[in-house]
Structures are given as structure tokens and as C-alpha cells.
Amino acid sequence: MADKDQTLHYDGPVGGWGSVRGIVEIAGMERPSPMALETLYRQNKPGGFMCVSCAWTKPAGHNALEFCENGAKATLWELTTRRCTPDFFAKHTVEELKTWSDHDLEQQGRLTHPMRYDRETDRYVPCSWYEAYSAIGQELKGLDPKSVVFYASGRASLETAYCYALFARLYGNNNLPDSSNMCHETTSVTLKKVIGSPVGTTVFEDFSTCDAIFFFGQNTGSNSPRFLHPLQEAVRRGCKIVTFNPVREKGLISMINPQSPTEMLTGKETELSCQYHQVKTGGDIAAIMGLCKHVLAKDDEAQARGLSVLDRDFITQHTDGFEAFEQKVRATEWDDIERESGLTRSALELAGQIYVEADKTIAIYGMGLTQHVHGFENIATLVNLMLMKGNIGRDGTGVSPVRGHSNVQGQRTVGITEKPELAPLDKLEQLYGFTPPKEKGVTTVEACEGIISGDIKAFIGLGGNFLRAVPEQGAMEQAWPTMRLTVQIATKLNRNHLFNGEVAYLLPCLGRTEEDMQAGGPQTVTMEDSLSCIHGSIGKRKPASQDLRSELAIVAGIAQETLEPNPNVPWEEWLGDYGKVRDAIEATYPEQFRDFNKRMFTPGGFYRGNSARERIWKTESGKAEFTVPDMLSAAGFSDKAGRFRLMTLRSNDQFNTTIYGYSDRLRGVEGTRSVLLINPKDIEKAGLRAGQVVGLAADAEDGKDRRVMGLTVTPFDLPDGCVGGYYPELNPLVPLDHHDKHSKTPAYKGVPVRIIPDA
């Protein structure tokens, strides 16, 4: 029998008292500083600061409290009164800290001093900022620029991101991978190819006029909860939501708005999805082909009556490749679609009918589509579906990837990219009088390959927990210390900081909620949300320690010690007044950042524009492109006896590798993260029993030994042959070469595994 404590079956809606309790619990654990609540009130509002959690948009007509359970957790996490000081590091060797959990490491609180790793004593020891900058500069000067990686996790502001990318190029490389390479890179590559714009085309107002919203593999309730409000409003005015997800995620089933006193008191919940399809992991291409088949069938019927379901004018005028795609859809058999999607023809026809009847449809997606070997085809097939009825570039429509980190999209916008063709190199040359490197830089996966092979000799991390977030953890942890230089700019201690190159520094920075005082006074920073709106953000809290520096100061500090002086790159002036960095961003991207300083506090942000939304297609053909998928499964491997498809999931109680606690309230998994979620039929078939402890081994063709032990078999409602567990604990199972073929985004949602005894 399942241990009740381990699988509490939570049947309530998302939001409601559960989410308030979530905030209160985290507030208890983090011991936030006084005035933390005042800070929460200012979250996501003009003149306030932008949430450090997800990238969901910050609407102009904001709620009294424009934050959610998880945004509050992220803010309180930053405002903790706990401090991870030099005393702490004096007490613990790094080897000892490796035995601690991710949760316990971050629970030590905010880093307070710049630290250098001392190999002899295996401890971090305090150092001065000057020592750190000059030692790092010396090292960088001695290295071949090709062997240095400048990683960014998607939080740093547009100002810091711009400076960081410029620094890397002045230094001599495009080695600027970021967390996006593990996340929505599939989006950037696919959407750029098929509609000519690397980001989503929907804007906030579209949610008030659309007739249907199709959701693929995005877990709104946990990962972008403020998005539930416009969804709730859409449903109330009659919009239909159809969801495709192997997991029945509570957030997409129903919600109670925790900010509505009446809903809280009456417990009245809104049903969100009118149809919920538990597609097989990796089964979306097949499912979407099924929807397309239904659209064509209905169009054939309509044609007989002189009507049309397809938007033929749009297809003729704006798209390329429809005939080939149409042929492929007609030639695809329902039997194959049913087998690969795990859904029945009649279920797909029901979903397809909503699409046929809706005049305006928005398609939403997340990691369930991007993190597969054929992630490109997942997204491209979804775009095909949208193009059939002209659902791109018209009010109330669009394809809308939901981004992760709060400024991950923006970092790409202002130059953090390993793809030189995406950076305005000519402009940089003209503005700063140097020859920017033209050679392609490394993606996250290529950076890992380089670290393992020894080609990469230095790693600078602007935030994040790279080593914990990437695939192939075993080999990566072994290879990491062979690097010459590792530098981590961070707010809290994490597992990556326990693996160090020969020369290693841990540099603590200000968080976004904190006052950033520079020579020219307190500074403002900006970010871009998931719907391409740019917002200003002012931190007002007293910094966690007087020895912290802003991220921009740290980047400028290292850059100045590394590069020859260049009168066109006035680091000191920029540092004294971030407005001047914004002027530089405007000079580099005049169209998108016109009047940047004037517009940054526009309520709701200012929209940076999107050509595809205007039906201007910056693609090879000059049109929106239908593509023909060569496969129906995105998994990229065949099924066989004993092999399962593993999805690595986020719980409601984590932000990426930051583990707030052990309560995945919305899925009813409590008290542990070491679980193997698997359906009761598969438990029986595999001869297991609920509560038994097992291990997982990667079932990759290369035969390498990759395993994670100590997982409790936990009955869970999943499609046959699909199992789930938590990221990042299961990352050692993901082979490095298991990634989307086009973008190299790791296929974290479709890992072939076998269940092994826990011996």
C-alpha cells in the first residue's frame, strides 16, 4: 500500500488557503527581515521592483498584491535574515559541505563577503574585492579567449546583461551560453526559423479576446501562478482551455484566487480546462497532427458546402509549404497517432473541434515541448496548427511560450547569445571601435563537452547553479576541478560552489530587492517579461551585507582588470549611472529601445515589438513556414520492454535548483523529493510495490553507467510507460548528447530509463 504520508492526494484547487499557507511556512523558515511585507506590496508594480521568480508579465491594471505564492517565496528567500559569513566557511570544509542537501546549503542564507577558495585547507577564505578582480583579470589575460565561458542564469538585469555580453566580446569570444540553452532555446531556434521572430507573438490584451487557449506542457499553477488570473477571467467570459499534459496538474484544472476574499471564504473555484488530455510524454507531435487531421476533415466538409475552416487567404498570402504539410497530415494514419500520443481519435477530435470552432486561438507551451530530442518538431508542428487558421499576427491569437527566469528573454535581447548572427556585431564595432569575434560561441551543452574534454579552462557564472542544472552530472563534477579558473557571482551558496577550479572565487552580489547605491545615487534596473514588455525595477531594501556589490559593479570590476582601456567603453561612468548603460542599449538597438530611459516606468511595461505579430516574416522564404515533421514521437528513442520515459519535473516548492521545502502540495507529494512517480499498472507489471525503494539507471545506447538510487515507488496518475521524478536530483541520469537536435536544449522531459534494485 502507498504510504499515506508520501502521497497525500490533494484534491483542492490551486490558490486558496493552501497557497497562503505556503507563503506563511516559507516566511517562518526564511525568517525574513522586518518590512518584508512592505516589500511584497511593491512587487511587480511601477515604481516597485520586478519579481525575481518567473517571467510572467506585470500587467498595467495590477492587483492590490501583484504577487503569487511562489513570487512571495522567491522574495522572502532573498530577504532572509540568515547570513552565510566567513565564519561559516571557516567551520566547514568544502568536502564536508558536499554531503549537505541543496536545501541545507541555500538555507545558510545570503553570502556576505567575497571569498577565495583555498585548496590547501579545502576552505573558502575571505578576500578583498580588489584582490578578486585583479587575480581574475590576471588569469583571463593569460588564457586563450576560446577556452573561457561566460555563463548567465536568466536573472541579471538588461543593464548587467548588456555589459556582460560586451565584456565577453571585447575579451574575444561569443561563449555566452545562458540558462535559456537548457530551457527555451528550442523556442528561439524554432520560432526564428518558422515565423522569423525568436519570441512569442501574444500580448496581454490577447487573453481578453481569445476564444480558445491550447496548453502544452506548461505548469501554470506552480511556475507562473499570476498567469492564472487572466486565465480565470478568460474562462469566465466563455473562453475554452484545452490542456495536453501527461500529469493532471492542479493549476490547470481549477483555481481559487487567493486575492479574492469572497472566493477564499466561499471556496468557490473556477474550472480552468474544459478538456484535459494526458498525452504520453513526447507524444505531442502525434497529438497535434491529430488535431490538424480533424481540421482538414472539417474543412473538407465545409468545402462541400462552399465554406472554409482553413484561413485560405492567410495561407496563400503569408505562408510557405502548406501543400507538403497537408499531404503529410492526410497520409498520417489515426492508428499511428493514437499509439504515439497515447490518446484516442475521439478525444483528439473533441479537442480539434474546439480549435475548429474558435475564431481566435492562443497556443501556450513550456518545458513539456522544448525539452525533448525532437523539441523543434514539437513547436514547429504547433505553429503549423496555428497557421492553418491564421492564428498568428491577429488580435486574440498567437503562439506564446512561457519563459522561465525573470529576465531570461531580455538577456538574449541585449546580446547574451552564443550565436553571433543574433548579436548586432556591426553596431558594436561602430560604437566601441573594436572587431567583435565572429566565430560561433558554445551553447550550454557544448560548454559541458568542452569542460569534460579539457578544452574549456575557465568558467565565469553570472548567477545560477550550472553544475546542478546541466545533464551528465557525474562526469561534469569530475571534470570541473580540472579547470584553471572558476568564478561564481551569487546570492546564496549552492552545490556548484563546492566544485572549484585551481583558482576559484565566490563573489556575493546584491539581490533585486536591495538598494543599489552608486556614485550617481540609487540605481534602477530593467527586465523584459515573457510577453516582450520592458519594466524598470527599484530595489529599496538595505543590502544583506555592506560588502556586497551589484552584479554590474562586479562585471565592470573584472572587465577593467582584464581588458585594455578603451575610451569608448566608460565602465566607471556606466557604473555611476545605469541610465548611461540604457543609453548605450538604445544606441545599439534603436528600434526596440527608443526613449528607453523615459519609457521604463510605463505601467505594464513598454512593448518592444515583434515583427511576426505584424505579419512581417523575417524567415528565409519571407513567409511563415509550414514544416513537415519526419516523426510522430518527440522522444527520439524507441520503446522496449523495461524501458520507461522519464520526465524530470519541478515541484511547487522549488525554484529550479533552489529547494524551498519538501511539499509538492499541488501534486500531493509530501515530505520527500526522492520519489519515482509511476502509475499503478506499471508498478504491478514491473513486479514492484508502492513504497519500495528502487534506483533508476539511464537506458541510453552508449551503455554508460548513470544511476540515481534511493527513490520511493510512488503511485501516480501517469500514462503507461511514463515515469516522473524531480529535477535536479535526477540530472545524473541525463546523457549529455540527449538533446534537441536543432537547438541542443537537453531533453530533460524524455529520458530513457530502467528501474533497478536499490542495492
Query: Which residues of this protein are in contact with ligand MGD, per CB under 6 A?
Result: 53-54, 70, 106, 153, 155, 179, 182-183, 216-219, 222-224, 244-247, 249, 279, 281-282, 284, 366-368, 371, 402, 404-405, 462-466, 469, 489-492, 494, 509, 511-512, 551, 647-650, 654-658, 727-728, 730-731, 734, 748-749
CB of 180 vs Mo ion, minimal distance in Å: 7
Q: Which of the ranges 3-11, 221-229, 400-408, 413-421 carries the binding residues for Mo ion, by CB under 5 A?
A: 400-408
Cα R_g (the chain), whole angstroms: 25
CA dist 342 and 242 (Å) reads 16
Length of the chain: 759
**Residue 464 touching Mo ion (CB under 5 A):** no
Q: Looking at 36, 54, 183, 659, which residue binds Mo ion (CB under 5 A)?
A: 183
CB-wise, 123 or 749, nearer to ligand MGD?
A: 749
Phi, psi of 639, rounded to the nearest 5 degrees: -80, 145
* CB closest to ligand MGD, residue no: 366
Q: Which residues from 401-430 bind Mo ion, rule CB under 5 A? A: 404
CB 177 within 8 Å of CB 443:
yes
**Spatial separation of the C-alpha atoms in residues 615 and 196, rounded to whole Å:** 10
With respect to ligand MGD, which residue has the nearer C-beta, 469 or 612? Answer: 469
Partner whose binding site includes residue 366, from ligand MGD, Mo ion, none (CB under 5 to 8 Å by kind):
ligand MGD
Between 366 and 543, name the residue whose CB sits nearer to Mo ion.
Answer: 366
Strand residue runs (E) in 205-265: 212-216, 240-244, 254-256
The minimum distance between CB 435 and ligand MGD, in angstroms, equals 30
* Smallest gap from residue 565 Cβ to ligand MGD (A): 26
Cα distances from 732 to residues 453, 522, 728, in angstroms, run 18, 43, 8
Q: Which is nearer to ligand MGD, 287 or 690 (CB)?
A: 287
User: In the numeric block, which cell numbers belong to residue 128?
Assistant: 578583498
350's grid cell:
473533441
Strand partners, 116: 125, 505
**415, interface contact from Mo ion, ligand MGD, none, CB < 5-8 Å by kind:** none
Q: Which is nearer to Mo ion, 183 or 563 (by Cβ)?
A: 183
> For residue 170, what is its C-alpha cell?
571585447
Q: Between vectors from CA 420 to CA 497 and to CA 635, what angle results, nearest 5°?
A: 65
Q: Which does 250 bind (CB under 5 to 8 A by kind): Mo ion, ligand MGD, none?
A: none
| Strands 254-256 and 14-15, bridge-based pairing | parallel
Distance CA 121, CA 123 (A): 5
341 binds, among ligand MGD, Mo ion, none (CB under 5 to 8 A by kind): none
Which residues sit opposite 752 in a β-bridge?
A: 645
Q: From CA 285, how far away is CA 607, in angstroms rounded?
A: 32
List the grid coordinates of 717: 496518475
Q: Which of residues 502-521 bind Mo ion (CB under 5 A)?
A: none
- The DSSP 8-state label assigned to residue 348 in this structure reads H
Q: What is the spatial distance between Cα 130 and Cα 118, in angstroms, rounded to a whole number?
A: 17
Distance in Å, CB of 183 to Mo ion, minimum: 3
| DSSP 8-state symbol, 47 | T
Nearer CB in complex with ligand MGD: 173/179 = 179
Q: Least distance to Mo ion from the beta carbon of 748, Å?
A: 10
Residue 628, phi then psi, degrees to nearest 5: -110, 110
Min dist. Cβ of residue 361 to ligand MGD (A): 17
Question: From the CB of 514, what's the least distance to Mo ion, in Å?
Answer: 24
How many of the other CB atoms lie within 10 Å of CB of 662? Answer: 16
Which of Mo ion, ligand MGD, none does residue 543 bind (CB under 5 to 8 Å by kind)?
Answer: none
Based on CB atoms, which residue is closest to ligand MGD, 588 or 658?
A: 658
173 touches, from ligand MGD, Mo ion, none (C-beta below 5 to 8 Å by class): none
Smallest gap from residue 280 Cβ to ligand MGD (A):
7
| Closer residue to Mo ion (CB): 183 or 483 | 183
Task: Return d(Cα 624, Cα 617) in angstroms, integer.
Answer: 6
Partner from ligand MGD, Mo ion, none binding residue 284, C-beta < 5-8 Å depending on class: ligand MGD
Kindly state the smallest distance separating residue 179's Cβ from Mo ion, in Å: 6
**DSSP assignments along 66-126, one per residue:** ---HHHHHHHHHHTBS-EE-HHHHHH--HHHHTTS-HHHHHTT-EE-S-EEEETTTTEEEE
36 is in the binding site of which of ligand MGD, Mo ion, none (Cβ under 5 to 8 A by kind)?
none
CA distance 573 to 392: 43
Minimal distance, residue 643 CB to Mo ion, in Å: 27
The partner in contact with residue 222, picked from ligand MGD, Mo ion, none with C-beta cut-offs of 5 to 8 angstroms by kind, is ligand MGD
Minimum separation from the CB atom of position 403 to ligand MGD (A): 7
Cell (9 digits) for 525? 534596473
- Residues near Mo ion (CB under 5 A) are 183, 404
